[in-house]
Amino acid sequence: MSPILSIENLSIHFYTPKGVRKAVDRVSLELNKKEVVGVAGESGSGKSTLALGIMRLIAPPGEIVDGKIFYHGDDILRYSESEFNSKIRWKKIAMIFQGSLNGFTPVFKIGEQIEEVLEVHEYKGDFKERVKELLKMVELDPSVADRYPHELSGGMKQRAFIAMALALNPEILICDEPTTALDVITQAKIINLLKTLKKDLGLSIIFITHDMALLSEISDKLYIMYAGGIMESGNSLDIYKNPKHPYTQLLMEAIADINKDYIKGIPGFMPDLANLPSGCRFSDRCPYAMDICRRKEPELKKIEGDRNVACWLY
């Protein structure tokens, strides 16, 4: 079965006064139908940039400098902007944002904004009915359509945004930290909602978060990202059981253990993306760093089954 979305060697750079930040550096990723792919990594590792890159929303000073993104075998980076906008964006690939608590324009009603999406994409059918249907799908009262964003709670806003994301029956849903600003109970509810929707609608999901605990609940496949690059990828359960890359191991340890009441952070800081260390990008924080790690960059290589790791230890 060929993947529905396949990213090859995607590089996205930001041209800042302090230098070129390689926010996404030769990243490859595959998403199969009805699959949930998790992307995890500390804040600043380039996850959101990757997501925005897929949506082709990188604005100056950023630029997609290299790579291909295949959607059903078509390279969507070669589409013209207007073609991409009318055929792919939101219609086939929709997205829920890290900041989607502020994702609605504050001065329009929820219903108006969902209807606007339908209108812009020339949806055939009754707009009002569709809005009602969508709100029901995300377990919201239809009256929410007549409310302004600020009149809703955080959880309700996120549900409404999911409803808007589903408006055009997309195949792929990118969720960029969809629950970060929410309390734990609401978080769980949203995750459950996404699970249900995935099942009911046959969605394929790219789920981005820095919270490994959250990913364990939902993801089938996992990509671990650090400083713009993929460090490890593979089946979720395998990685949870047996993390290979030292960064993944530290990231796992950083999960709040229910038995301990503290969170262990990873020592050190993420390097400046405009000024990466030579060799492995994790070398300056890695407890197992060897000589070669500081000299030569490890390639992402297959070590067993579908497990790939970029580390000189393997």
Ligand X SMILES: Nc1ncnc2c1ncn2[C@@H]1O[C@H](COP(=O)(O)OP(=O)(O)O)[C@@H](O)[C@H]1O
Q: Closest CB to Mg ion among 47 and 159?
A: 47
Contact status: 22 vs ligand X (CB under 6 A): no
Q: Closest CB to Mg ion among 28 and 180?
A: 180
Residue 216 CB, nearest approach to ligand X (Å): 19
Residue 85 CB, nearest approach to another protein (Å): 5
With CB under 8 A as the contact rule, the residue among 69, 117, 131, 166 that binds another protein is 117
Q: Which two tokens stand for residue 254?
A: 């950083």
- For residues 58 and 64, the answer to whether their CB atoms sit within 8 Å is yes
With CB under 8 A as the contact rule, the residue among 106, 125, 267, 287 that binds another protein is 106
> Site for ligand X (CB under 6 A): how many residues?
15
With CB under 8 A as the contact rule, the residue among 11, 28, 86, 180 that binds another protein is 86
CA 220 → CA 80, 234, 253, distances in Å? 33, 9, 20
Contact status: 271 vs ligand X (CB under 6 A): no
Contact status: 90 vs another protein (CB under 8 A): yes
Task: Choose the one of ligand X, another protein, Mg ion, none that binds residue 61, judging by a C-beta under 5 to 8 angstroms depending on kind.
Answer: ligand X
Contact status: 194 vs ligand X (CB under 6 A): no
Contact status: 205 vs another protein (CB under 8 A): no
Residues 6 or more apart whose CB falls under 8 angstroms from that of 241 comprise none
Number of neighbours of residue 113 by Cβ within 10 angstroms: 19
Backbone CA torsion sign across 167, 218, 192, 98: negative
Contact status: 55 vs another protein (CB under 8 A): yes
Residue 235 CB, nearest approach to another protein (Å): 30
Residue 55 CB, nearest approach to another protein (Å): 5
Burial code (b: 16+ CB inside 10 Å, e: under 16) for 154-181 equals ebbbbbbbbbbbbbbebbbbbbbbbbbb
Cβ-in-10-Å burial (0-12, 13-18, 19+) of 123 comes to middle
With CB under 6 A as the contact rule, the residue among 10, 29, 35, 47 that binds ligand X is 47
Contact status: 103 vs another protein (CB under 8 A): yes
Contact status: 180 vs another protein (CB under 8 A): no
Contact status: 263 vs another protein (CB under 8 A): no
Nearest one of 12, 48, 20, 61 to 272, comparing CA atoms: 20
Residue 176 CB, nearest approach to another protein (Å): 10
Q: Closest CB to ligand X among 86 and 180?
A: 180
Q: Closest CB to Mg ion among 6 and 98?
A: 98
Residue 69 CB, nearest approach to another protein (Å): 15
Q: Segment near ligand X (CB under 6 A), from 1-9, 13-21, 194-202, 306-314?
A: 13-21
Binding site for ligand X (CB under 6 A): 14, 16, 21, 23, 41, 43-49, 61-62, 273
Name the residues that contact another protein, by CB under 8 A.
52, 55, 57, 85-86, 89-91, 94-95, 97, 99-100, 102-109, 116-117, 120-121, 148, 150-151, 161, 164
